[in-house]
Structure formats: structure tokens, C-alpha cells
Amino acid sequence: MAHVIACIDGSRITLAVCDYAAWASRRLDAPLNFLHVLGRSEYPIPADLSGNIGLGSREHLLQELAELDEKRSRLALEQGRIMLDEAKARAIADGVANPTSRQRHGELVDTLLELESDIRLLVMGRQGEQGDNLGEHIGSHLENVVRTLHRPILVIPADYQEPKRILIAFDGSATTRKAVEMVAASPLFRGLPCHVVMVGADKPEAHSQLEWARKTLADAGFDVTASLRAGDIEPVLCAYRDEHAIDLVVMGAYGHSKIREFLVGSTTTRMIRQSKVPLLLLR
């Protein structure tokens, strides 16, 4: 059975990751698994320093370096275990039955790729342990994970607030049509008011596409508000979000090539940086 998998690392945002993951697990009736990945800095690979140390002190220093690395690795493992136990206890207090955890060594993206078939929803903080003081910047691992995985990813801000109203950023593309169908079929958003917003010119084709989205959601039982607005995508969506007190935004992720994004920028990255609410990203 596919899991809600929550990535935690001990940063300030970890508490919000736990709470949003617990919320999603309950709504989806899916098992919750907490994942902590020890990177190379926390679990270093022994290096051969024998050629870099003076002859007289070589053996003594090599032994001390090895002992320090071993101690640091043990402490990182123990810290991770404590963190995972606390995350499970918090999820149980939030009403999740039998949350589980796993600890891995290596790179986060590689680990998630190995687990991809077991992921129903991935929950990650916008910033990780190294990004607590980076303002609007996003965590170093997040963009690589979003670009690499083909699973829904819930990117969350630093503070938890249970979603009450959602917004789907719709442009008529295959990805955003998939987003509409996913929302319509998933229990994750069942019973929540849904806004579908399309940013573009006031043309018959746009109205037709927007009506398809509205009808698909309405037929699934949603209370739907559909809106077509002119302007630039990010400011229009952010203004609509604030105007209607939206708690969660659903959107497609990285729809263009990396070369094009390098030249003109990425809507996905800018939305992640500016978002005050969780973003559910779909590839």
C-alpha cells in the first residue's frame, strides 16, 4: 500500500511537516511513514589521509580522525532516531494510527527515487535544516526532488494551518487537467470549497477549458468557483489567494525545459518562494 512519506531533518519546519503529513494521512486513509536521510556530511565516508600527514604524527592523527568520524556518525544516527520517534509520537497525538519511520544513508533524491513506487504523497518543507535563515529561498534539495520524482509533492511553509479552501492553478494543459481530475477523484480535498483560476486572455477557448474544469469538479461534488483573470501568473495567483483566504494551492511543476527556465525563469520556483500556504505540485 502506497504511503504518505514525510521528509524530516530537524529544522524548524519539521513540526509543520509532521502536522501536514498527519492531516494528509488521515484524509487519504493512507499509512504515514517518516523518512530521515543522513547525508555525507552527517555520515562521512572514511578517507585515506595517510599521504597528507607528516611522518611523525601520522598514526596518532589518523586514529583520532577515525574516532571523531565514528563518534559523529553515532551521534547523527542517534539524533535521527530520537527525531523520528518524536515525529511518530506527534502523529499519533494528531490521530494517525501506527505511523512508521525509516532512516537511510546517502542522498535524499537517490533515496526517494528508490522509494518512488511506495509514495502516494510526499510531504517536504520549503526549507531544510540549512535553509532556516534563508528568507524566501527554497531548500537546496527541494528543486531537485520536484524535478526528479513523478509523484505528488506537498511543499509546506513553516507553520501549520489545516486547509479549508483550495485553489487549482489551471491553464488547460495536460498537467493541469490531470490536477483537476486528481482533485476530483481524491479524498484529500473532499468537502473543501475549490477555486479554479485561469490566468490569460478573455477568449472563448479559455472559457471552454475553464468550464470543463468547473464541471469536472462539480460533478464530483465540489463547491466550485471558476475565475478567468488577466495579468502575470504569479502576482494574479498570489492576489487571488490572499483575496479568498486560500489555504492550499494545486499546480503543475516545471513544465518547460531547464534551458528555457534559465532564460526566462520558472513559475514553479517563484511560486514556491512566494507562497504563504502549502503547494501541491504535480508533474
Asked if the structure places residue 69 within a domain, the reply is no
Looking at the 3D structure of the chain, how many domains does it have?
2
Domain harbouring 128, CATH code: 3.40.50.620
Please tell me the predicted confidence (pLDDT) of residue 258. 40
Q: 201 and 84 in one domain?
A: no
- Which residue did the predictor score with more confidence, 208 or 61? 208
**Which of 123, 156, 189 marks a domain boundary?**
156
DSSP state of 46: P
Distance CA 132, CA 60 (A): 38
Q: 115 and 19 in one domain?
A: yes
Asked if the structure places residue 228 within a domain, the reply is yes
pLDDT tens for each residue of 248-259:
999 887 654 443
**Which of 99, 126, 156 marks a domain boundary?**
156
Q: 186 and 88 in one domain?
A: no
Please tell me the predicted confidence (pLDDT) of residue 56. 52
- Which residue did the predictor score with more confidence, 75 or 146? 146
Q: Range with the lowest mean pLDDT among 24-38, 122-136, 219-233?
A: 122-136
Distance CA 125, CA 271 (A): 14
| Residue 122, domain extent | 3-42+76-156
Q: 204 and 127 in one domain?
A: no
Q: What is the pTM of this model?
A: 0.83
Please tell me the predicted confidence (pLDDT) of residue 91. 97
Q: 263 and 128 in one domain?
A: no
Please tell me the predicted confidence (pLDDT) of residue 136. 44
Q: 105 and 186 in one domain?
A: no
CB under 8 A, 24+ apart: contacts of 172-177? 172/198, 172/205, 172/206, 172/209, 173/252, 173/255, 175/252, 175/253, 175/255, 175/282, 175/283, 176/251, 176/252, 177/212, 177/213
Q: 98 and 170 in one domain?
A: no
Please measure the distance between the N-terminal and C-terminal CA atoms of the chain and give it in whole angstroms.
Answer: 21
Please tell me the predicted confidence (pLDDT) of residue 103. 93
Q: Percentage of residues in the chain with pLDDT exceeding 90?
A: 59
Q: 99 and 16 in one domain?
A: yes
Please tell me the predicted confidence (pLDDT) of residue 266. 60
Adjacent-strand bridge partners of 249: 167, 279
Residue 146 pLDDT class (50, 70, 90 cuts): confident
**Which of 97, 131, 156 marks a domain boundary?**
156
Asked if the structure places residue 117 within a domain, the reply is yes
Please tell me the predicted confidence (pLDDT) of residue 48. 52
Average pLDDT, the chain: 84
Q: 200 and 149 in one domain?
A: no
Asked if the structure places residue 254 within a domain, the reply is yes
> Is residue 55's pLDDT more than 50?
no
Residue 134 pLDDT class (50, 70, 90 cuts): very low
> Is residue 20's pLDDT more than 60?
yes
Q: 172 and 142 in one domain?
A: no
Residue 78 pLDDT class (50, 70, 90 cuts): confident
Asked if the structure places residue 60 within a domain, the reply is no
Q: 183 and 139 in one domain?
A: no
